[in-house]
Amino acid sequence: MTDAAPDGQYDAWLDAIEDGEAYYIECENGHGWLPPRRVCPDCGSRELTEEQMPESGEVLTHSTITVPTPQFEDDAPYVTAIADFGPVSVTGLVRGIDPDDVTIGTVVGLHVGERATTGDRAVVFEPR
Amino acid sequence: MTDPRIAGAGVTKFGKHPERTGRDLFAEAGLEALDDAGVAPDDVDALYYGNFMGELAEHQGHQGPLMAEAIGLDAPATRFEAACASAGAAVREAVKSLRNGESDVIVVGGAERMTNIGTAAATDALAIAADDLYEIRAGMTFPGAYALMARSYFDQYGGSHEDLAHIAVKNHEHALVNEHAQIQKAITVEDALEAPTIASPLGLYDSCPITDGAAAAVLTSEEYAEDHGLDAPIAVTGTGQGGDNLALQDRPHLAQTPAADKAAEEAYADAGIGPDDVDFAEVHDCFTIAEVLAIESLGFYDHGEGIHAATNGETDRHGELPINLSGGLKAKGHPVGATGVAQLATAAWVLDGSHPRADAVPDGTVGVTHNAGGTVASTTVHVLEVRE
Ligand SMILES: [Zn+2]
């Protein structure tokens, strides 16, 4: 969709999710983060490694957005959620479930989908 | 070290002024503040100015010198950007500069023009206070982010949308006599609960409006105020600022605002007071849930206890600790880059008895302002006290 240059490690991370090889970044003290990171904000460690993302996460909180930004105009209403994958939490769009049925604790998998409005890639959660 | 004095303040009517430029809005507030202070423009050492979305709303960066020009200052001028806490950050830097003797007179202020670009573009502009890669691209909006925090709060601590409605009702009632306020209209709990949803569980009346406006204040050193015989009994006695991870997903708490905890602790220690000494506060209620998080971080309530404060009448103008006597962002309006200084002006006017709701705290001597940026990844807290 966009002609802009890819956003480095972020787009590489989306590629990995699409390839079924989702990862997170872990510092030597076990703090988890998502890319791009060069330093752990918790402990200052620069010894970061890529670790395999757990298969599923649990919805920590969610909202059905009815007043979107222009980039999500055709997506609305849609559900945005933060899901806990253990070492890291991730923000994504919840799909494949009726918005009214999304609850805290809903178990989801991590995927990449397209935004209806722009065709750009987005992090998507689907129940599993 | 001396505590800077608030020598004068000016605030525009907050509201929809789509045809008014940012420079015109700021000129009105800034000139009012200078006139109120009775300070010669030549004596002003610097302008510290807050603005958030100038590039998107007016295609205007580098607003510092533009705004100095707009109020007739030939002085260095710097813009501070900390999302909705931009003006609070400007105040904090002014306080530091006055305290360390670098400056005698600083104009602090802020302005935001928002309604000219329409609701959708303004929603988009506000969203960029969030993490673009991980939040905005996952559909996060500014109301959406606070909705995520509200749902998490209800889950962890309890409380309901009805409790939030009481906050909106209270702040609308406070604004009824505030001629600067964008919305001067009483609402009921039912009105708030029946309003359209923006981002569940938050509805239209849980949200501050989109606002144009400006605010300015003239801060001086204690010595300058004395030497020039200024009528400036209100001092800024404490300043604090805290930060947090930008993205909500990276924070250990979704229902607490540790950046505000840190800012409050620092400001209280700086002023040598504690939360029990505070007579009233102006807090950053961009959404009703934000007021709950603010009064908990400020130490007025334990975490999880602030949700019922408005429901129980503890924070209205008849209550023990009035919160947002101006009407708050909810009813007064939230021209993002101006809010921190508008809060400062309100608190000064409540303390000197000139605010229309000052009778809520007739013997009040200590006021606090709490200005939060984004989903509270930035917060400034200031303590104001009466000094004769
Ligand atoms: Zn670490």
DSSP secondary structure string for all residues of B351-372: HTT-STTGGGSTT--EEEEEEE
Rounded Cα distance between B189 and B205, Å, is 10
Phi and psi (nearest 5°) for A88? -140, 155
B279 touches B364 (CB < 8 A): yes
Q: What is the pLDDT of residues B7-34, one digit of tens each?
A: 999 999 999 999 999 999 999 999 999 9
User: Coil, strand, or helix at residue B215?
Assistant: strand
Residue B329 has pLDDT above 80, yes or no: yes
Of chain B, the percentage scoring pLDDT greater than 70 comes to: 100
Q: How many angstroms separate the most distant Cα atoms in chain B?
A: 57
Spell out the residues 6+ positions from residue B102 whose beta carbon is closer than 8 angstroms to its own.
B45
The distance of Cα B115 from the centroid of its chain, to the nearest Å, equals 19
Mean pLDDT of chain B: 97
Q: Of B17, B161, B174, B334, which one is the catalytic site residue? A: B334
A69 and B127 in contact by Cβ < 8 A? yes
pLDDT for the residue numbered A4: 80
pLDDT for the residue numbered B2: 83
pLDDT for the residue numbered B373: 97
Gap from CA of A122 to ligand 1 centroid (Å):
27
Gap from CA of B245 to ligand 1 centroid (Å):
14
B358: pLDDT confidence band, cut at 50, 70 and 90? very high
pLDDT for the residue numbered B38: 97
Q: Kind and range of the H or E element at B137?
A: none
B84 is catalytic: yes
Rounded Cα distance between A106 and A126, Å, is 10
Residues lower than pLDDT 50 in chain A: 1
Rounded Cα distance between B329 and B205, Å, is 12
Q: How many angstroms separate the most distant Cα atoms in chain A?
A: 43
pLDDT for the residue numbered B334: 98
Residue A71 to chain B, least CA–CA distance (Å): 8
Q: What is the pLDDT of residues B203-253, one digit of tens each?
A: 999 999 999 999 999 999 999 999 999 999 999 999 999 999 999 999 999
Q: What is the pLDDT of residues B79-88, one digit of tens each?
A: 999 999 999 9
Gap from CA of B257 to ligand 1 centroid (Å):
21
A91 and B249 in contact by Cβ < 8 A? yes
B245 and A67 in contact by Cβ < 8 A? no
Rounded Cα distance between B151 and B207, Å, is 15
B1: pLDDT confidence band, cut at 50, 70 and 90? low
pLDDT for the residue numbered B279: 98
Rounded Cα distance between B376 and B293, Å, is 10
Rounded Cα distance between A110 and A94, Å, is 10
pLDDT for the residue numbered A2: 53
The residue-averaged pLDDT of B249-273 equals: 97
B152 and A75 in contact by Cβ < 8 A? no
pLDDT for the residue numbered B304: 97
Residue B43 has pLDDT above 60, yes or no: yes
B369: pLDDT confidence band, cut at 50, 70 and 90? very high
